[in-house]
Structure formats: C-alpha cells, structure tokens
Amino acid sequence: MNLSVKLGASALALMLAVGSAFAQDIKVGHPDWWKNAGAKFDGVTLRGVTEATPPSNYISDVLAPAFEDLTGIRVEIETTSWDQMYDKAIKDMEAKTGIYDMVFIEQDIVYAYLARDFLVDFTAELKAHPDLKAANFDEANLTSFADNFRGKDGDLFGMPMEAFIKVYLYRTDLFNDPKVKAAFKKETGHDLVPAKTHAEYAEIARFFTKWGKDHDMKLWGTTAQAHTGHPASWYEFFESVAPTYGVYNWGINPDKNYAATVAHGGSMNSPEAKAALKWWLEMRDLAPPESVQSTWTEVATTFAAGRAAQGLVYGENAAWIASDKNKSRVVGKVGVALPPLEDGVMADAESGKGYIGYYDGGAFGTPVTSKNEEAALLFLQFLALPEIQEDWAAAASRITLTSTYDTPKVKALDKELGGYYTMMREDGKLFRGAPPYPFHAQVREATAQILYKVLTGDLGPDEGLDQMAAKAEEELQTLGYRE
C-alpha cells in the first residue's frame, strides 16, 4: 500500500529540481574503494522499476546520479504506477527476459516472490564476492523492518528503502481545547486523552461526531478506510483492526493446516474477529461520509483537511499531514499514539506472539534473471549507507537504518511530527508486516468480495466472517495448502 504522497508537492519539486546538485553534494566514506569497485563494471547500465513515490523518486533523481558519479556505473530507474510496476516486474521475472536488475518489492508480496525463487540472495551473494563488500555497509544497522525480507535461513533478499507504521493520529488542538475538555468531562465523567482501548476510542468518536453536529462543524469522530470495492478496506480490517483485538495473521493458523475457521483451529470468524468487525463498522458510521469510498489516500486527505478528530493513518502520511502547510490544515495540531487495544494484545506483542498494528514499506531486490547481479550488489549496498540516509529521510519520511534516528534533521522533524519517529524507533518492534504467506493475493481476492457485502449492508458481520473463513479455507485447499 504505497499509493500515498509522503511529501508536499512544492517541497518535493524543489528537491528533485536540484537533484544533480544533491548528487554532487553527497559524500560517502571510502570514495576510492567505490571508484575502484565500479571500474570492474565499465559500460554497465543497471535498470530498475519501482512505484513513483517520493522515496523512489529520490532514488531516481538524487541517489542514482550520485552512485554514477561515485562508481561510473549508470543507473536508470523507471518510476511508474503501482499496478504497472508489479506487472512489469513480474512479467520480466516470469519470462526470464532480464530487463531489470532491481525491482521494488512491497512487504506484502515478498513471500510470493520467495516461493517462486524470483530473487537473488543478497547475503549469499555478498559472501560469494567479498571483494564487493563495502566497508561502510553494515547489515546490522538495518531496522527490524528488514526481517520482512529475509528467507527461512535469515538471509536478506531485499534492501529496505522505505518503512513506516500505521499509527493513531489525533487532533491536539481539539484534545487540548478547554471547552472541549470540559464538555467531554461533563458528558463522560473522565478526562479527554488519546484512547488506549476500543471502548475509549469509540466514546471519543461518538463525542466528536456529536460535537461537530451541535456546533455546525465539518467534523467527525474518526477516520475509516472503508471503501466498499477496494482492497484498502480489506487491509484496514485484517492488518490494522483485527490485530488490536488479538486476531493475528488474518486469523489463518498455519499450525492447524492453514485453518481459518474456528471449527478447524483458525480465528478469522472468532468472537474476537466478530467484535472487531462490529466495532469497525460503528467507527465507519461515525466517520465523514467519504469514508465509504476511502482508501489509504483518502483517509490521509480527510484527516489533513481537519474533518476527523482521530484516526488510524499510515505513518508515511503522518509527516506531510503534520508539516506541509500547502496540503494540510492541521499542521502543528497533530499528536501520535499507539492504536487502541484489547486486554492481552500488548502482552502478546511484547512476547512476540502477536502484534498491535501494521508495519509496511518496501525494498529493492535483484531478480535472478538479472544480467548484472554483481553491479546491482554494489547499488543495493549504496542504498543502505548511513551517509545518505539523513536527507533521504527528511525528503521522503522513511527510515530503514537505526543510525538515521540520531541525525539532526530527523530529530528536528520528529518534534514537528509529534514524536512519530520516536514511536517508530521505540515501538516499531510491536508492529508487524503482512504474514509470510505466498498465497497473499489469492486469499485476499477470494474473501474481499464478501467483506464488501458486509460494508454495503447486504450481509451481517457475523455471517460475513463465517463466509470469509470458509471461503479462505476453500481457496487454500484449491491452492494445495490445506490437505
């Protein structure tokens, strides 16, 4: 889910307009080593394909020219739409045409790629070519997000280039308003603070929706990524809401023959899942009217427009919502908190049994069909050099190295974002990406149509989850995962 804009248009345009200047300004350690290593690949051109997002545009317009200046290896990065990016990459790897030397791998598709042996084992390749190991590259500096791109033996198959968590944003101007606080205290009997439980979140949502109506304001109590015909709603429920009720990995249990139904050992239609869905439907009804057509993009613009008091928002949007005055009406008015949770979920996350929300992002990997694997090995290491991370993080709101958190620009931006980067650093381990299922897309597509019927009111939530769990098992049996 990488369709959202992460940087104000004007700021990004300025950044890319001076891309060549940035390329000249980028300084990395051991430049002579890089020059000598690149000389081995005289005349080579590396080609990559990725989605046209700010992190990828920064690679294309700033980092690729800098790498060429440093090594002499030319890099052409094709930035395109999300669907075209996948289509081109997969067709190239399936046909073994070797057009691309690097492809963007989104966190939720990597397991399907690994199952089909599409990607070069970066760790093994680096061991096989110790002469190409850069002194200033340290795999240990990667954040825990890199674990999403490791194979069964722990080897790395993709170099992370963007990462973010889905967080609870709230309007500090509303939560700190004396009149609002007094009214909330009078109505509920307790103080207005960011919710820690679903009951508290719902109470706040009901209060602000009523407050907006009573004061003739375009204000509602929450956001909702509840599109009635787009996978964004499926992802919101299964990857953001269900885990906060203790339903992990979509409710599919690989230890029970990939069971999804409670009857067979799964939890997709468990009492916890049904409670989660009913809560989410109530939040949808307390959200702005556009929520029934909102994907991850529209949720962000809704919050940025000041139309919601709180919401679950992808962290990649938190930066521009909190800091870009050209696009956001709530600059300086955004607080960040962990998602509301049911009892026991935090303990599960801390022990590693579960997680509290979604950790998303992407990496660059090398297809096994590449004709320039060794040269690509250099470029992937370059993307993980600590020297280039600070400006990249400031330009595109992404962090993939632990050391980047301590850079001056990121520290300054963290304050502006209400502590988002601090939360990502300290609590990122509590979040998790999509489960490591190679059947990701098939199960999503098989069950999403049923969820849409629930969202349109054509099917009840309990019946809908029962049908989704049964449909998931049916699909998994067809695919050969259930005996």
Please state, in angstroms and rounded to a whole number, the distance separating the CA atoms of residues 85 and 50: 6
Residue 463 lies in a domain: no
Residues 323, 327, 329: CA angle, nearest 5 degrees: 75
Average pLDDT over residues 320-327: 87
Number of domains comprising the chain: 2
Average pLDDT over residues 22-38: 83
Q: Is the dihedral of CA 170, 174, 180, 182 positive or negative?
A: positive
Write the pLDDT tens digit of every residue in 244-266: 999 999 999 999 999 999 999 99
In this structure, the answer to whether residues 204 and 152 fall within a common structural domain is no
Please state which of the ranges 33-37, 111-115, 193-197, 279-283 shows the lowest mean pLDDT: 111-115
Would you give the DSSP letter of residue 263? G
Q: Please provide the distance, in angstroms rounded to a whole number, between the alpha carbons at the two ends of the chain.
A: 32
In this structure, the answer to whether residues 311 and 188 fall within a common structural domain is yes
In this structure, the answer to whether residues 188 and 299 fall within a common structural domain is yes
Asked if the model's pLDDT at residue 38 lies above 90, the reply is: yes
In this structure, the answer to whether residues 117 and 75 fall within a common structural domain is yes
In this structure, the answer to whether residues 152 and 187 fall within a common structural domain is no
| Amino acid 82: pLDDT | 77
Please state, in angstroms and rounded to a whole number, the distance separating the CA atoms of residues 423 and 403: 15
Average pLDDT over residues 129-136: 96
Asked if the model's pLDDT at residue 119 lies above 90, the reply is: yes
| Amino acid 22: pLDDT | 44
% of the chain beyond a pLDDT of 90: 82
Residue by residue, DSSP assigns 45-106 as EEEEEEE-SHHHHHIIIIIHHHHHHHHS-EEEEEEE-HHHHHHHHHHHHHHT----SEEEEE
Number of helices (H), then strands (E), in the chain: 22, 7
In this structure, the answer to whether residues 153 and 47 fall within a common structural domain is yes
Last residue of a domain, one of 415, 430, 445: 430
In this structure, the answer to whether residues 197 and 115 fall within a common structural domain is no
CA–CA distances in Å: residue 311 to residues 225, 323, 416: 9, 17, 19
DSSP, collapsed to helix, strand or coil, labels residue 150 as: strand
In this structure, the answer to whether residues 254 and 157 fall within a common structural domain is no
Categorize the per-residue pLDDT at 58 as very low, low, confident or very high, splitting at 50, 70 and 90.
Answer: very high
In this structure, the answer to whether residues 153 and 170 fall within a common structural domain is no
Asked if the model's pLDDT at residue 93 lies above 80, the reply is: yes
Residue 306 lies in a domain: yes
Provide the token pair at 86.
């996948």
Residue 158 lies in a domain: yes
Write the pLDDT tens digit of every residue in 181-190: 999 999 999 9
pLDDT averaged over every residue in the chain: 92
Residue 233 lies in a domain: yes
Please state which of the ranges 344-353, 414-423, 446-455 shows the lowest mean pLDDT: 414-423
Residue 76 lies in a domain: yes
The answer to whether the beta carbons of residues 317 and 256 sit under 8 Å apart is: no
In this structure, the answer to whether residues 155 and 186 fall within a common structural domain is no
CATH number of the domain bearing residue 72: 3.40.190.10
**Is the whole model's pTM more than 0.75, yes or no?**
yes
In this structure, the answer to whether residues 394 and 315 fall within a common structural domain is no
Last residue of a domain, one of 351, 379, 404: 351
Categorize the per-residue pLDDT at 16 as very low, low, confident or very high, splitting at 50, 70 and 90.
Answer: very low
Amino acid residing at 259: A
In this structure, the answer to whether residues 286 and 243 fall within a common structural domain is yes
Residue 436 lies in a domain: no
Burial code (b: 16+ CB inside 10 Å, e: under 16) for 205-232 equals: bbbbbbbbeeeeeebbbbbbbbbbebbb
Please state which of the ranges 66-75, 76-85, 303-312 shows the lowest mean pLDDT: 76-85
Residue 453 lies in a domain: no
Residue 482 lies in a domain: no
Provide the token pair at 259.
């069971």
Last residue of a domain, one of 321, 351, 381: 351
Domain that holds residue 117: 9-163+361-430
Please state, in angstroms and rounded to a whole number, the distance separating the CA atoms of residues 321 and 417: 9
The answer to whether the beta carbons of residues 365 and 93 sit under 8 Å apart is: no
Among the listed residues 3, 78, 337, the one whose alpha carbon sits nearest the alpha carbon of residue 201 = 337
